[in-house]
Structure 1
Amino acid sequence: MDDVRPIRAKTGTNQEGASAHNRRVIMDALRVNRSLSRADLARATRLTKQTVSNIVEELEGDGLVVSLDAVRRGRGQPSTPYRLVAEGAFAIGLHIDRYLTRAVAVDLLGNVLVRAETSLSLGSPALGVKAILDLIEGVRRDLGTLHRQSEKRLVGLGVAMPGPFGLEAKDDDPWMMAAWQNFPLLETLAAGTGLEVGLQNDAAASATAERMVGAAHGLDHAVCLYLGYGIGAGLILNGELYSGSTGNAGEIGMVLSPPSSEQGERRPLEHRASLASLYQHMGMNAADPDLYQALAAASQNRDPMLMSWIGSAATDLRWSVQLIETIFDPESVILCGTAPEPLARLLIEAMHPLLPSIAEHRDRRAPRLQLGMSDPWASALGAAAEPISRTFDPRFSAILKTRDSA
């Protein structure tokens, strides 16, 4: 009898008209488990063996799935595992930050194939968007050099930038990219590239990256606490990214401190515990091109001024983790963002011990708090993962569609 091993997968449906959902479920199961046989897929997704066979053959024909050498488990017949084809699809991701923008090209598995960056004028999107289009063109050209069929398999452009979106902001507000928020960015990029363009805030983009290739891979419930110029939270709920009614879900950096006679006015969390607050504390210029290296060095040397900020920021972030756990009950909270890794590790260390929480149960599989991607390119990777997720990941709304619309 074949060994039965645990497989992580979402459930498919054998109802009429659900082929789009089932196709995405099969691809998601292969992404999470690396490789599975048709029998494994049928058992995990609760689809019929015939449905699985039909979908696998269709995916093979589309160049998205490939069979591997047959393997024997136990006394049964050999089974043929299948895996996703990395070159089956490509996407481009763009992270627009205050003083520069980064672009990456990835394959279906999230491998970064090309990356490039350029400086950006914070208050001049009309000029900045031209530099961005040139950057994207260069990345596409380099990708085409690596894979001649990449243009035919390019599924879209994902854009990440600081939120929140749709709020009134003063032009001189240092916490908001007001000029860029009011610029018709998506329409301009779509017209200039000919690609379908999607937008998410940088915290959501980092959560997408963590789900695809990082610490949230295989988790259905996780919150990514994003530490960048500001602070945000990317929410992975029931295996899908939750963005809220206006795309602003997870803007935890705007949560106000409780009133206190010592604090005076109530201040948003990101004014106290973000990288921008660290820059102010240490007298650093956020536009300095060597800022990342300077922060990494200060962290490795445990600079006294930096350590004093960490002590204060860790108190706020510890409270944030307890708040996140109480509201969302995630399997894990993942600290990620654009901070240098040595700095992020110091913060994780200072945040322990964590506050008592409903997350303290005995059957935990993942740590309450863990370090994710701490890399200035993480949001660009997550932005690139968004078109792939939009194209291939399960969307349960697909069950409600007819066969024609699916």
Structure 2
Amino acid sequence: MSEIRPIRAKSGTNQEGASAHNRRVIIEALRLNGTLSRAELSRATQLTKQAVSNIVDELEHDGLVAAQEAVRNGRGQPSTPYRLVPDGAFGIGLQIDRHVTRALAVNLVGSVLARAEANLPSGGPDAGIEVVLELVGRVRDALGKASRHSLERMVGLGAAMPGPFGLDTSDDDPWMMASWQKFPLVDALAVGTGLSVSLQNDSAACAIAERMVGAAHGLDHAVCIYLGYGIGAGLILNGELYSGGNGNAGEIGMALLAPRGADRTPLEHRASLAALYQRLNLDPGDPQLSSKVEALAAAKGENVRAWVEEAAEDLRWGVQLIENLFDPQTVVLTTGAPATLARLLVEAMQPLLPSLAERPDRRLPRLQLGIVDPWTVALGAASEPISRAFDPRFSAILKSPAVKA
């Protein structure tokens, strides 16, 4: 019997997929606006009043939205606003970095309900996976105490770690987490927790966090530059996270931007926090690292100022390239670095280089400082299962069995 010839095609839509998409549209409208009546939802989403009523009834039955006290506007009939139910769904996020792992749990509206962190032992995943699973278990137990609905309303576990994924990297390369990147992490977490698991790079997780509760909230076109040990960019395009063909979209840290003479080293080798640690002779695994960097940044010492000036020059080119390639509404700089250092860097990046983003009708700044918190990656990782389950996305209107909302 001959093999079936693979045929390239887009999947068609169907009524079930359209219904799932419309449910997601209603949920997003409530997330962005807080409370809306059925009439307001109909006007905002361009769905019929009957369609909105049917969806709201379903979501209310499912425990995802709740009616509020009726409001009388003028002489007409009072209207009933609806809001999302925070305990309607929960997600757990996991960050795996070079020296530390963090986990936290969020509810449907992105509020953090539990968090914990632990040091990762040397030896890669063989030594670290049990630490990671124990950490997730601690957060899960704490979440169960914070909300009695968390067990039946858990939508999944999101994991995030530095990329890129799928490359033939060496364990000797300090810029890569080769052993973890090659480890079957998703399978190990799924077996160890019994949850649906997704994996993304840390910059993508930061973009999700910024869209959920940060500077990209409500935006359909934004790019989040994550300044960590390395540098990456999370891409929000047409309201969805764009991951690329292999999950490595946005790896701008590997780009050879603005080479100074013969210096053609990657961007993250010059402008990342790792480059700063090297310049200051600091140990990235030091538990007091953040407070030491904060003190040095506040003092504006010569080495800190020199790194800020050089990093700002490189990152200007990165922002200019991003603007010309993706035409975002704004570029957001997110980092786990101390706030004093982050503000110095953003200030030093001004003025930005000319690009097509210089428009007379701009409503948002071309560059803005986003969330400055070492927990941002874990927050975005926890928000990913929520986003995957409830945010509008193209796959929701296709014949995809993976989409349930």
Aligned residue for 2:29, secondary structure, equals helix
Displacement after TM superposition at 1:123 (Å): 3.4
Displacement after TM superposition at 1:72 (Å): 2.7
Displacement after TM superposition at 1:122 (Å): 4.5
The change in CA–CA distance for 1:404 and 1:109 in structure 2 (over 3 A counts) is closer
For residues 165-314 of structure 1, the aligned pairs below 5 Å read 165-257=165-257, 263-314=261-312
1:157-190 residue CA offsets vs partner (Å, 9 max, x unmatched): 0000000000010111000000111111110110
Alignment partner of 1:323 is 2:321: yes
- Give the distance between the partners of 2:402 and 2:348, measured in 1 at CA: 55
Alignment partner of 1:37 is 2:37: yes
1:175-210 residue CA offsets vs partner (Å, 9 max, x unmatched): 000011111111011000000000010000000000
The change in CA–CA distance for 1:275 and 1:405 in structure 2 (over 3 A counts) is closer
1:100 corresponds in structure 2 to 100
Assess if the C-alpha contact under 8 Å between 1:18 and 1:402 holds in 2.
no
The change in CA–CA distance for 1:358 and 1:122 in structure 2 (over 3 A counts) is farther
Aligned residue for 1:73, secondary structure, equals coil
- Give the distance between the partners of 1:352 and 1:404, measured in 2 at CA: 44
1:224-254 residue CA offsets vs partner (Å, 9 max, x unmatched): 0110000000000011100000000000000
Assess if the C-alpha contact under 8 Å between 1:222 and 1:332 holds in 2.
yes
The change in CA–CA distance for 1:74 and 1:318 in structure 2 (over 3 A counts) is farther
Assess if the C-alpha contact under 8 Å between 2:98 and 2:177 holds in 1.
yes
Aligned residue for 2:159, secondary structure, equals strand
Assess if the C-alpha contact under 8 Å between 1:242 and 1:249 holds in 2.
yes
- Give the distance between the partners of 2:331 and 2:159, measured in 1 at CA: 24
1:64 corresponds in structure 2 to 64
The change in CA–CA distance for 1:86 and 1:404 in structure 2 (over 3 A counts) is closer
The change in CA–CA distance for 1:404 and 1:185 in structure 2 (over 3 A counts) is closer
- Give the distance between the partners of 2:146 and 2:305, measured in 1 at CA: 44
- Give the distance between the partners of 1:129 and 1:206, measured in 2 at CA: 23
- Give the distance between the partners of 2:82 and 2:21, measured in 1 at CA: 19
Assess if the C-alpha contact under 8 Å between 1:19 and 1:403 holds in 2.
no
Alignment partner of 1:140 is 2:143: no
Counterpart amino acid of residue 240 in structure 2: E
- Give the distance between the partners of 2:59 and 2:341, measured in 1 at CA: 43
1:333 corresponds in structure 2 to 331
2:9 corresponds in structure 1 to none
Displacement after TM superposition at 1:331 (Å): 0.4
1:47 corresponds in structure 2 to 47
TM (norm. structure 2) is: 0.94
1:350 corresponds in structure 2 to 348
- Give the distance between the partners of 2:246 and 2:122, measured in 1 at CA: 24
Displacement after TM superposition at 1:337 (Å): 1.9
Aligned CA-pair RMSD? 1.7
- Give the distance between the partners of 1:131 and 1:333, measured in 2 at CA: 35
Identify which of 351, 357, 368 aligns with 1:370.
368
2:397 corresponds in structure 1 to 399
Counterpart amino acid of residue 28 in structure 1: E
Aligned residue for 1:156, secondary structure, equals strand
1:388 corresponds in structure 2 to 386
Counterpart amino acid of residue 203 in structure 2: A
- Give the distance between the partners of 1:103 and 1:391, measured in 2 at CA: 20
Counterpart amino acid of residue 207 in structure 1: A
TM (norm. structure 1) is: 0.93
Assess if the C-alpha contact under 8 Å between 1:66 and 1:82 holds in 2.
yes
Assess if the C-alpha contact under 8 Å between 1:207 and 1:234 holds in 2.
yes
Aligned residue for 2:20, secondary structure, equals helix
Displacement after TM superposition at 1:148 (Å): 1.7
Gaps of 5+ in 1: 1-12
1:331-385 residue CA offsets vs partner (Å, 9 max, x unmatched): 0000002111111100011001111111111211111110101111000000000
Assess if the C-alpha contact under 8 Å between 2:30 and 2:83 holds in 1.
yes
Residues matched between the structures, number: 392
Gaps of 5+ in 2: 1-12
- Give the distance between the partners of 1:246 and 1:34, measured in 2 at CA: 35
